[in-house]
Structure 1
Amino acid sequence: MPNLFATSALLLLGGGTKEALGDTETVDLDAVVVTASPFVKHKDELVVPASELTGEPLKRAGESSLGATLSGEPGVHSTYYGPGAGRPVIRGFDGDRIRILNQGTDSFDVSQTSPDHGVSIEPLFADDIEVVRGPASLLYGNAAIGGVVNVMGKELPRERALASFSGQAETFYGSVSDEKSIGLALQGGQGDFAWSAGFLDRQSNDFEIPGFAESAYQMEAEEHEHEEEEDHEHEEVEHDHDEEHGEEEEVFGVLENSFVDTRSGYLGLAWFGDRSSLAVSYSEYDSDYGVPGHSHEHGHEEEHEHEEGEEHEEDEHEEEHGHGEEAVTIDLDQSRFTLRGELIDPVDFLQSLELDLTFGDYRHRELEGEAVGTVFERDGYELRLTGVHSPVGDLTGAFGFQAKVDDFSAVGEEAFIPSSETSQYGIFAMERLNQDWGAWEFGARLESVEIDPIDASLADSSFDTVNASAGAVRRLSENSVVSANLVYAERAPNASELYAFGPHIGTRSFEIGDVSLGKESSTSLDLAYRLTAGRVTGEITGFYSNFSDYVYMRFLDHEELEDLYGELDTVGLDVFQATAVDAKFYGFEVDLRYHLIDEADRAMHVDLLYDQTRATNESFNTNLPRIPARRLGLRYEYAFGPWVLGAEGRWHDEASHIGPNQLPTDSYTLWGADARYRMYVTDMATVDLFVVGTNLSDEEARPHTSFLKDLAPMPGRSLKLGVRTSF
Structure 2
Amino acid sequence: MRRSLPSPHLLASALALALLSPTAFANDAGATDLDAVVVTASPLKGNAESVATPVEVLYGEALDRTKAGTLGETIAKLPGVQTTYFGTGVGRPIIRGQEGPRVQVLSGGIGSMDASTVSADHAVSIEPFLADQIEVLKGPATLLFGSGAIGGAVNVVDGRLADTIPDEPLSGRAEVRGNTVNDERSGMFRLDGVNGNWVLHVDGLVRNTHDYDIPGVAALHDDHEEDGDHDDHEEEEQPNGILPNSSVRTRAGAIGATWLGEGGYFGLAASTYRTNYGIPSGAHVHGDDDHDHDDDDDDHDEEGHEEEGPVRIDMVQNRLDLKAGIYDPVSFLQSINLRAAWNDYEHVELEDGLPATRFTNKGYDARLEAVQKDRNGWRGAFGLQFGSTDFGAVGEEAFVPSTTTDNLGVFVVQEKDFGPWKLELGGRYDHVELRPEGRASRDFDAINLSAAAIWRLSDGFDLRFGLDRSERAPTNEELFAGGTHVATQSIEIGDEALDTEKGARAEIGAHWHTDRVDLKLALYRTEFSDFIYLADTDVEEEGFPVRLWTQSDATFTGAEAEAKIRLADSASGAWDLRLFGDYVRAKLDGSGTRTVAFEVPHGDHAHGYEAEIAQGGYLPRIAPMRFGADLGWSLGGWRASVGAVRYSKQDDVAQNEEPSDGYTLVDAHLAYRWDRTASSWEVFLDGSNLTDEEARPHTSLLRDYAPLPGRGVAFGIRAYF
Counterpart AA for 1:571? E
TM-aligned CA deviation for residue 460 of structure 1: 0.5
Match of 2:691 in 1: 697
| Equivalent residue runs for 1:446-461 within 5 Å | 446-455=429-438, 458-461=439-442
Match of 2:620 in 1: 625
Please say if residues 677 and 689 of structure 1, whose CA atoms lie closer than 8 Å, have aligned partners that are also in contact.
yes
Tell me the SS of whatever aligns to 2:35: coil
Tell me the SS of whatever aligns to 1:112: coil
TM-aligned CA deviation for residue 43 of structure 1: 2.3
Could you tell me how far apart the structure 1 residues matched to 2:47 and 2:569 are? 22
- Within the alignment, does 1:483 sit opposite 2:464 as a pair? yes
Residue 688 of structure 1 is aligned with which of 674, 682, 685? 682
Residue 220 of structure 1 is aligned with which of 223, 226, 229? 223
Change (3 A) 1:400 1:74: same
Residue 390 of structure 1 is aligned with which of 367, 373, 395? 373
Please say if residues 161 and 190 of structure 1, whose CA atoms lie closer than 8 Å, have aligned partners that are also in contact.
no
Tell me the SS of whatever aligns to 1:58: helix
TM-aligned CA deviation for residue 601 of structure 1: 10
Match of 1:6 in 2: none
Match of 1:591 in 2: 562
TM-aligned CA deviation for residue 303 of structure 1: 3.2
Match of 1:724 in 2: 718
Please say if residues 62 and 123 of structure 1, whose CA atoms lie closer than 8 Å, have aligned partners that are also in contact.
yes
Change (3 A) 1:349 1:599: farther
Q: Deviations over 1:325-351 (max 9, x none)?
A: 500000000001001112222221111
Could you tell me how far apart the structure 1 residues matched to 2:428 and 2:359 are? 31
Residue 464 of structure 1 is aligned with which of 435, 445, 449? 445
Please say if residues 295 and 324 of structure 1, whose CA atoms lie closer than 8 Å, have aligned partners that are also in contact.
no
Please say if residues 652 and 659 of structure 2, whose CA atoms lie closer than 8 Å, have aligned partners that are also in contact.
no
Residue 247 of structure 1 is aligned with which of 236, 254, 257? 236
| Equivalent residue runs for 1:557-576 within 5 Å | 557-558=538-539, 570-576=541-547
Could you tell me how far apart the structure 2 residues matched to 1:580 and 1:451 are? 19
Match of 1:99 in 2: 104
Match of 2:550 in 1: 579
Could you tell me how far apart the structure 2 residues matched to 1:146 and 1:548 are? 14
Change (3 A) 1:149 1:316: closer
Match of 2:257 in 1: 269
Please say if residues 295 and 328 of structure 1, whose CA atoms lie closer than 8 Å, have aligned partners that are also in contact.
no
| Equivalent residue runs for 1:56-71 within 5 Å | 56-71=61-76
Could you tell me how far apart the structure 2 residues matched to 1:670 and 1:169 are? 29
Tell me the SS of whatever aligns to 1:96: helix
TM-aligned CA deviation for residue 571 of structure 1: 2.4
Tell me the SS of whatever aligns to 2:117: helix
TM-aligned CA deviation for residue 679 of structure 1: 2.0
Please say if residues 279 and 341 of structure 1, whose CA atoms lie closer than 8 Å, have aligned partners that are also in contact.
yes
Could you tell me how far apart the structure 1 residues matched to 2:703 and 2:454 are? 40
Q: Deviations over 1:389-422 (max 9, x none)?
A: 1111121111111012100000000110100100
Counterpart AA for 1:498? L
Q: Percent identity, aligned pairs only? A: 38
Change (3 A) 1:307 1:221: farther
Change (3 A) 1:203 1:157: same
Please say if residues 255 and 292 of structure 1, whose CA atoms lie closer than 8 Å, have aligned partners that are also in contact.
yes
Match of 1:669 in 2: 664
Residue 133 of structure 2 is aligned with which of 120, 128, 131? 128
Match of 2:644 in 1: 649
Tell me the SS of whatever aligns to 2:132: strand
Which one is further off, 540-549 or 342-351? Answer: 342-351
Counterpart AA for 2:543? G
Counterpart AA for 2:683? L
- Within the alignment, does 1:208 sit opposite 2:213 as a pair? yes
Larger RCO (CA within 8 A; separation ≥ 6): 1
Match of 2:14 in 1: none
Could you tell me how far apart the structure 1 residues matched to 2:627 and 2:400 are? 38
- Give structure 2 stretches of 5+ with no counterpart: 1-30, 591-614
Please say if residues 44 and 532 of structure 1, whose CA atoms lie closer than 8 Å, have aligned partners that are also in contact.
no
- Within the alignment, does 1:353 sit opposite 2:333 as a pair? no
TM-aligned CA deviation for residue 298 of structure 1: 4.6
Length, aligned pairs only: 667
Q: Deviations over 1:15-38 (max 9, x none)?
A: xxxxxxxxxxx9561342525532
Change (3 A) 1:482 1:33: farther
Residue 187 of structure 1 is aligned with which of 192, 199, 214? 192
| Equivalent residue runs for 1:455-534 within 5 Å | 455=438, 458-534=439-515
Q: How does the TM-score come out when normalised to structure 1?
A: 0.88
Match of 1:158 in 2: 163
Counterpart AA for 2:331? D
Please say if residues 281 and 310 of structure 2, whose CA atoms lie closer than 8 Å, have aligned partners that are also in contact.
no
- Within the alignment, does 1:416 sit opposite 2:399 as a pair? yes
Q: How does the TM-score come out when normalised to structure 2?
A: 0.89
Counterpart AA for 1:630? M
Could you tell me how far apart the structure 1 residues matched to 2:172 and 2:714 are? 22
Change (3 A) 1:572 1:593: same
- Within the alignment, does 1:606 sit opposite 2:577 as a pair? yes
Tell me the SS of whatever aligns to 1:354: strand
Residue 283 of structure 1 is aligned with which of 261, 271, 276? 271
Counterpart AA for 1:289? Y
Which one is further off, 288-297 or 167-176? Answer: 288-297
More helix by share: 1
Please say if residues 128 and 152 of structure 1, whose CA atoms lie closer than 8 Å, have aligned partners that are also in contact.
yes
Could you tell me how far apart the structure 1 residues matched to 2:50 and 2:443 are? 37
Could you tell me how far apart the structure 2 residues matched to 1:37 and 1:440 are? 15
- Give structure 1 stretches of 5+ with no counterpart: 1-25, 228-237, 562-569
Please say if residues 285 and 489 of structure 2, whose CA atoms lie closer than 8 Å, have aligned partners that are also in contact.
no
Counterpart AA for 1:708? L
Counterpart AA for 1:726? Y
Please say if residues 48 and 57 of structure 2, whose CA atoms lie closer than 8 Å, have aligned partners that are also in contact.
no
Tell me the SS of whatever aligns to 1:113: coil
Could you tell me how far apart the structure 2 residues matched to 1:178 and 1:106 are? 32
Please say if residues 286 and 486 of structure 2, whose CA atoms lie closer than 8 Å, have aligned partners that are also in contact.
no
Match of 1:83 in 2: 88
Please say if residues 364 and 387 of structure 2, whose CA atoms lie closer than 8 Å, have aligned partners that are also in contact.
yes
Change (3 A) 1:422 1:264: same
Counterpart AA for 1:343? I
Tell me the SS of whatever aligns to 2:68: coil
Could you tell me how far apart the structure 1 residues matched to 2:117 and 2:440 are? 22
Please say if residues 655 and 664 of structure 1, whose CA atoms lie closer than 8 Å, have aligned partners that are also in contact.
yes
- Within the alignment, does 1:340 sit opposite 2:292 as a pair? no
- Within the alignment, does 1:115 sit opposite 2:144 as a pair? no
Match of 2:77 in 1: 72
Tell me the SS of whatever aligns to 1:715: coil
| Equivalent residue runs for 1:393-404 within 5 Å | 393-404=376-387
Could you tell me how far apart the structure 1 residues matched to 2:294 and 2:494 are? 29
Report the aligned-residue RMSD.
2.3
More strand by share: 2
Which one is further off, 40-49 or 263-272? Answer: 40-49
Could you tell me how far apart the structure 2 residues matched to 1:316 and 1:494 are? 30
Tell me the SS of whatever aligns to 1:497: helix
Tell me the SS of whatever aligns to 2:289: helix
Tell me the SS of whatever aligns to 1:482: strand
Please say if residues 434 and 440 of structure 1, whose CA atoms lie closer than 8 Å, have aligned partners that are also in contact.
yes
Which one is further off, 297-306 or 29-38? Answer: 297-306
Match of 2:312 in 1: 329
Q: Deviations over 1:366-403 (max 9, x none)?
A: 01112211000001000001111111112111111101
Match of 2:419 in 1: 436
TM-aligned CA deviation for residue 597 of structure 1: 3.2
TM-aligned CA deviation for residue 574 of structure 1: 2.0
Change (3 A) 1:297 1:441: closer
Residue 587 of structure 2 is aligned with which of 616, 619, 625? 616
Could you tell me how far apart the structure 2 residues matched to 1:617 and 1:473 are? 32
